[in-house]
Chains A and B, each alone.
Chain A
Amino acid sequence: MAGKNPIIHVQNVRKVYRMGDEEVVALNRINLKIYEGEVCCIFGTSGSGKSTLLNQLAGMEKPTGGRVLIQGRNISAMSEEELAAFRQQHIGFIFQSYNLLPSMTAVENVAMPLMFRGVEKEKREKQARMLLKRVGLSHRLDHYPGQMSGGQQQRAGIARAFVTRPQVVFADEPTGNLDSRTTEEIMKMIMEFAGRYKETIILVTHDPGMARFADRIVTLKDGNIIGDERKDENGRYV
């Protein structure tokens, strides 16, 4: 299922936070290759460094040392404007707390990444409506986030992440705020999208139940990778 080319290449990434006089090593020389089309779960307990790793992968923070290449481009060295342009073209996000803008309707929220690109209103909203239909929200198109349930909001969030057809979608505890039944729905939906569009998904979670949806589980502990398993044909991790 996974391609041969690493779409994300993490090279010697180190992240040290300064807490007063103390230095906290959040990531300790991480090396990781994530391949095209992979659904990769970054798994670890809180404080393991998984969120920090996500921040480095998505270019939210600059690493203290090392670099992150996405499609061969060093995002660790990009300026803010370059990063913005890069995110518009290649990256999607699914957040734990959905992060829909309350002043916009579902359609407007989903169309937002296209708006940043400068796509015409009609064109981008047509696309947004299409995606909202696909996530089963055709009856909520013009609702505001405040009028939708958590599950519905997250579906809109998924639609928003995929609307630009990005190569990589980062999902940060996407079901952290949802009940178990909705979690199942949401995860299946993400997997379905990933499969259809051959997209690379980076799933960050502390929930072993969620991790089983992934092709590959990278386990972190105290800033180090302590496990890297792939699902074999029988669905077992090796």
Chain B
Amino acid sequence: MRMRDLITVCLQNLRRHKARTLLTVLGVVVGCCSVVIMISIGIGMKKAQEEALAQMGDLTIIQVYPAGKGVRSARLNKKTVNQMKRLKGVAAATPKLTEEGVPIVLYGGRDKRYRTAYTSVVGIDLSTAETMGYKLTEGEWKTEKKDRVYVGQHFAYTFEDTKRPEGKNTVDMYGGGWSEDGTLTPPPPFFDVMKTPITLEMDSGKEDGKKAVQALEVGGRLKEDYGKGEETFMGMIISLDTFEALLDQQSRLAGKTRDGRKGYQGALVKVSEIGYVAQVEKEIQKMGFRTSSMESIRKPMEQEARQKQLMLGGLGTISLFVAALGITNTMIMSISERTREIGVMKSLGCFVKDVRKIFLLEAGCIGLMGGIAGTAFSFLISALMNIAASRSPSSLSGELTMGGTARLSVIPWWLAVFAVLFSVAIGVGAGFYPANRAVKIPALEAIKHDS
């Protein structure tokens, strides 16, 4: 038989029992909906997770630390950092120099009026700062000058006014009032860091009071980023070479030589693509360093998300299988009603394979109708869910979207296509057993005289 005729016959049969067909299709609609919605929630969850991760920090930056303090452990110095730079997939690398043992005091304003101590100063290759994901709220990246520094977002609040009495000599950045839209407005600090020269002093610790001094120019204010560290909050980043020169000078004044061989306290490695992260991390670990990146957080999170998605999808699939039983049931009923018809068709020369095709087609048709209607319905439910979730930040939606702005349920185009195809496949699958029963009905049924 021609395909067109097969379809015509199949539709004629489905039309004959409209109510029954409709109910069976409805079963598939429910099943298809539950699969799509469950998977869409899984996808929504994953999207939210990705967003949350992206907020936490750049996924392509690897932090490198020395493995230990032992003599034999690998040193993190210019040479090893350069080695890292040459690894495949690495876009940039910079050492990260922090010096905790040295007393650093910063002064701002005229006549050293404002003063702060214990500031976290980090020396990096400033030309890589932008690549490494440092972001500016003010100023711009002009890193050629050696006295250029970039300060943390709330750097100004760390200063105390030496001309005011104790207790009134600082500005509390949390001391501001609430604005109308519910956000905290911090009070203005003593001075504008962008317009005020800053001086850095390192005391030698000796009686003579000699200090290493460096006048600094603030090139910009960094955006606070917990993934980066304290320097983006109330500290500053400074040119690595300038910082090292200062530290050397301070050591000389103190009558010591700075032990530069100890190496840096850390390094940052930027990878060009996320796919390289794991590989580059492995290489760096092979060199004898410890590493950490978002990859090590992302991987288990991703795995968990995948598991949840599978579980949700599995739950949805169960209802689709129930719908499949419905299709099988309907088809068996329809076949037992049509026993004589099938006999007649066979005695008039209908091929066995065509009989099978007719019934598989009918079952597939039910699956197709249910799949299309179910997918359409899923889009509606998904939209309603997202509206409901955005209006009432309940604990459930909060947890599922991890407090992000992502939607609760996301249906990508491939899910819609997959849902329809899957429903058809389920339908055809459910039709196999009934079709085989139909095929076995003998032509003899046509001439039984029992009606």
Contact = CB atoms under 8 A, between A and B. Distances in A.
Interface of A: 51, 54-55, 58, 60-61, 80-81, 84-89, 91, 93, 95-97, 99, 101-104, 112-113, 115-118, 120-121, 160, 164, 172-173, 176
Contacts of B451: 97
Instruction: Categorize the interface residue count of chain B.
Output: 20 to 34
B4 interface: yes
A97 B449 contact: yes
Nearest to A80: B352
Q: Please list the 9 inter-chain residue pairs (A to B) with the smallest Cβ-Cβ separation, ordered nearest first.
A: A88-B349, A87-B349, A99-B344, A103-B12, A60-B444, A116-B350, A84-B351, A113-B348, A116-B349
17 contacts: A51-B447, A55-B447, A58-B347, A60-B443, A61-B444, A81-B352, A89-B349, A91-B349, A93-B348, A99-B341, A99-B344, A99-B446, A101-B344, A116-B348, A116-B351, A116-B354, A118-B2
Interface in B322-350: 340-341, 344-350
Contact of B442 (A60, A88, A118): A60
Contact of B5 (A61, A115, A160): A115
Interface string B1-21: 110110000001101100000
Contacts of A97: 449, 451
B449 A84 contact: no
Contacts of B354: 116
Which residue, B346, B349, B353, has most C-beta atoms of chain A within 10 A?
A: B349
B340 A99 contact: yes
Contacts of A95: 344, 446-447
Contacts of A88: 349
Nearest to A58: B347
Given A51-B447, A96-B449, A172-B447, A121 B4 contact: yes
Nearest to A84: B351
Contacts of B449: 96-97, 173, 176
Contacts of B5: 115, 121
A168 B106 CA distance: 113
Interface of B: 1-2, 4-5, 12-13, 15-16, 340-341, 344-354, 442-444, 446-447, 449, 451
A84 B349 contact: yes
A93 B351 contact: no
B350 A54 contact: no
B446 A103 contact: no
Contacts of A172: 447
Contacts of B349: 84-89, 91, 113, 116-117, 164
B351 A81 contact: yes
Contacts of A58: 347, 443
Nearest to B445: A60
Contact of A112 (B13, B345, B353, B444): B345
Given A103-B13, A115-B1, A118-B1, A81 B447 contact: no
A118 B351 CA distance: 11
A85 B444 CA distance: 17
Contacts of A160: 348
Nearest to A164: B349
Nearest to B444: A60
A55 B353 CA distance: 22
A93 B349 CA distance: 10
Contacts of A104: 12
